[in-house]
Amino acid sequence: MNRRIFLGIALAATAAPAFATKTDAKPRFLSFHHQHTDERLTVCYRIGDNYQRSELGKINHLFRDFRTGDIVPIDPKLLDILYDVRRSIGNEDAIYEVLSAYRSPQTNAMLRSRSSRVAKKSLHLTGQAVDVRLANTRSRRVRDIAVALGRGGVGYYPRSDFVHLDTGTVRRWVA
């Protein structure tokens, strides 16, 4: 190997981390419309590896139990799943329609008394799950892309036309 080739390889190797940092620093935006409260929110929740605390607080508020007003921190990994699903679909401006996010123990118990499809230890109770639709996208497609990501649980509810996403163990179901 001559000196020019060696220097070229060394220069490329030192430039690569700087390029990766620049690419990774891209801001991540998400838009939501809560179907029960009619609230809308667009946030830059993450820049590079840094979650934006004030923006996460806005998401926590929007994702609150709308029946009781209780708020818990939403798992940022759940937001990353939502971002990656939407990016994979190819419509980075699409708005997520939120049907259910955090549920207080009281709300979860009430829903369980009405339906056998509500889990006793639902990840909604810990801010690790959300039920959504993605505007102008078939729920079946959202489900397929989420399953392909291989991160967390993916439930598909075709009759109600929504997808459950969570940060628990990898699994899937149709209800």
Write down all domains in the chain, each with its CATH number in brackets.
27-174 (3.30.1380.10)
Range in 8-12, 115-119, 151-155 the model is least confident about: 8-12
Assign 41 to helix, strand or coil: strand
d(CA 156, CA 138): 11
Residue 119 has pLDDT above 90, yes or no: no
Query: pTM to 2 decimals?
Result: 0.84
Residue 19 has pLDDT above 50, yes or no: no
d(CA 128, CA 117): 17
* Burial bucket for residue 119 (CB in 10 Å: 0-12, 13-18, 19+): middle
The percent of residues in the chain predicted with pLDDT above 90, rounded, is 78
Residue 9 has pLDDT above 80, yes or no: no
d(CA 147, CA 154): 6
Give which of 88, 92, 103, 71 is closest to 143, Cα–Cα.
88
Residue 139 has pLDDT above 80, yes or no: yes
- Helix or strand holding residue 64 (H, E): none
Write down the H helix ranges in the chain: 3-24, 53-62, 76-89, 105-114, 139-149
* pLDDT value for 60: 98
